[in-house]
Amino acid sequence: MLDVEEIRKDFPILGKGVVYLDNAASSLTPQQVVDKEVEFYQEYRANVERGIHKFSQKASEEYEKAHSIVADFIGASSADNIVMMKNTTEGINFVANSHDWKKGDKIVTTILEHHSNFITWIRVAKRHGCTLEIVKADEEGHLSLSDFEKVIDDRTRLVALTRVSNVLGCITPVKEIASIAHEHGALVLEDGAQGVPHLKTDVKDSGVDFLAFSGHKMLGPTGSGCLYIADSSLYNVEPLCIGGGTIADVSLEGYELAEPPLRFEAGTPAIAQSIGLGEACKYLKRLTMDYVESREKILTKRLFEGLSEIDNVTIYGPSNLNERLGIVSFNINGMNPHDAALTLDSEYNIAVRSGHHCALPLIKELLKMPGGTVRASTYFYNTVEEIDLLVEAVKEITKRVS
C-alpha cells in the first residue's frame, strides 16, 4: 500500500503549512515534474521539429515522447491523436473553430458546463445560425438519458459535455450519451478538465471523438493541456492556427498540411510544459488511477459526511457518494461564500475556492444561488486530517453567524 506521507514529500508546497483544497482549480506539482522541466532548460533547451543539431533532436524526441505517454494515459491508439494545448479551454475552442458549421446545425450541451464549454457554443450558434440545446439536470446534477434521446436528432452535429461538474462533483454518463449521439451521426466532445485527473480514462471505451483536458489540474505545469482527436476526425478538422511547423510543403499557390498532430500545433509549442505533462502522466500511472480513485473516495466521504453534520451548512450535488468526486460545494447559511473562503484562508490557512466557479448557468438556474458557493476539492495527496481541519474550521465559523 502506498504511503500518503511518502507521496506528500514529492510536493514541496505541502511542507509550507497550507491545507490545499483547491485542486479543482489547479493541482499541485510534484518535484519530478518540476525536475523534468528543468532538465529541458538545462540540458537540451532548443526548438522542436526544426533543427538538425543534437539539442533540437533530443528536445523533439522528448516532446514526441510526451505525446505517446499522454496517449497511453487516456487509452488513445497513438501519439497522432494527441494535440498539445495550453488548457481545456483552448481544446474546446479548437473544436468550435475547426468545423464548417451550417445554419440549422444543432449543438447539444448541458446546464452543468463550465463557461469554457458553454459560451463557446453560444458563440458558434450566434455566428453560424446553429441551434443550441441545453439539457437540464436535477438539483443534484443528474442528467437523464431520455432528455438526450429527445433532443439529439439527425440535425445534431455535436454533443459537448463534461465528465464531471466542477461545481457539484457529479459524474455524467458520457459513454451512454456518446452512444446516443453516434446513432445520429453526431460527434461528441468530452470536457475532461475534472474527469481525466481523477478517474481512469479510456477514450476507446467511452467512444468520444474529442477529449479536452488541462495538464495543470493533473500535476502538470501551467500552460499544459491536450486535445485528443479520434482517428475518424483527424483529417476532417481544420487546424485552429496554421503556420510554422504545420506544413508538409508550401508553394506560391498553396500549402499541404503535415500529418497529425504536427498540422495542429502551429508555431513553437509549449515544449517544457508538454514534456512536463508527460512526466505528470507517468507519475499518475506509477501511482495508478485505482489508487487515485480509492484515496479520493475516502476523502470525499469524510468531507461530505463531516460537512453534513454541521447545522447551518448547505451542501450541493449528489447525496450518493458513488456518484461524485471530491468536489464539495457548500454554503454557510447567512454568510457570503467569499467571506467564508477568506476566513478559511486568513485564520486557518485553508485554501478553497468561492464564487460562481465559471459556471453561472448552473449556479443561477440550478442552485439558484447567484452569490455562488464555497468549494473544497481534494486530490490523492490530501489527508483525512486535513479534511477534519476544514470541517472543524467550518463548524467554528458557523457559530459566528447569528
Residue closer to ligand PLP, measured from CB, 89 or 206:
89
* Mask for 206-225, x = binds ligand PLP (CB under 6 A): --------x-----------
Residue closer to ligand PLP, measured from CB, 27 or 60:
27
C-alpha cell at 47: 526548438
Binding window for ligand PLP (CB under 6 A); candidates: 40-48, 59-67, 83-91, 231-239 = 83-91
- C-alpha 371/C-alpha 357 separation (Å) is 11
* Mask for 6-25, x = binds ligand PLP (CB under 6 A): ------------------xx
- Examine residue 279 and tell whether it contacts ligand PLP (CB under 6 A): no
**CA R_g for the chain:** 22
Residues 6+ positions from 111 with CB-CB distance below 8 Å: 134, 135, 136, 137, 361, 362, 365, 366
Q: Compute how many residues bind ligand PLP; rule: CB under 6 A.
A: 14
Residue closer to ligand PLP, measured from CB, 197 or 261:
197
Among 106, 114, 263, 282, binds ligand PLP (CB under 6 A): 114
Which of 207, 147, 145, 195 has the alpha carbon at shortest distance from 170? 195
- C-alpha 55/C-alpha 179 separation (Å) is 46
Catalytic residue among 130, 170, 281, 358: 358
- Examine residue 166 and tell whether it contacts ligand PLP (CB under 6 A): yes
Among this protein's residues, is 358 annotated catalytic?
yes
For residues 122 and 109, the answer to whether their CB atoms sit within 8 Å is no
Least distance from ligand PLP to the Cβ atom of residue 280, Å? 14
Among 23, 27, 60, 89, binds ligand PLP (CB under 6 A): 89
Among 60, 88, 206, 378, binds ligand PLP (CB under 6 A): 88
- Examine residue 27 and tell whether it contacts ligand PLP (CB under 6 A): no
Least distance from ligand PLP to the Cβ atom of residue 55, Å? 30
Residue closer to ligand PLP, measured from CB, 22 or 133:
22
For residues 112 and 362, the answer to whether their CB atoms sit within 8 Å is yes
For residues 181 and 188, the answer to whether their CB atoms sit within 8 Å is yes
* Mask for 334-373, x = binds ligand PLP (CB under 6 A): ----------------------------------------
- C-alpha 301/C-alpha 295 separation (Å) is 10
- C-alpha 298/C-alpha 326 separation (Å) is 9
Residue closer to ligand PLP, measured from CB, 167 or 393:
167
- Examine residue 116 and tell whether it contacts ligand PLP (CB under 6 A): yes
Three-class secondary structure assignment of 89-104: HHHHHHHHHCCCCCCC
Residues 6+ positions from 8 with CB-CB distance below 8 Å: 14, 381, 383
- C-alpha 203/C-alpha 401 separation (Å) is 47
Binding window for ligand PLP (CB under 6 A); candidates: 5-13, 95-103, 186-194, 384-392 = 186-194
For residues 307 and 315, the answer to whether their CB atoms sit within 8 Å is yes
Active site members: 358
Binding site for ligand PLP (CB under 6 A): 24-25, 87-89, 114, 116-117, 162, 166, 191, 193-194, 214
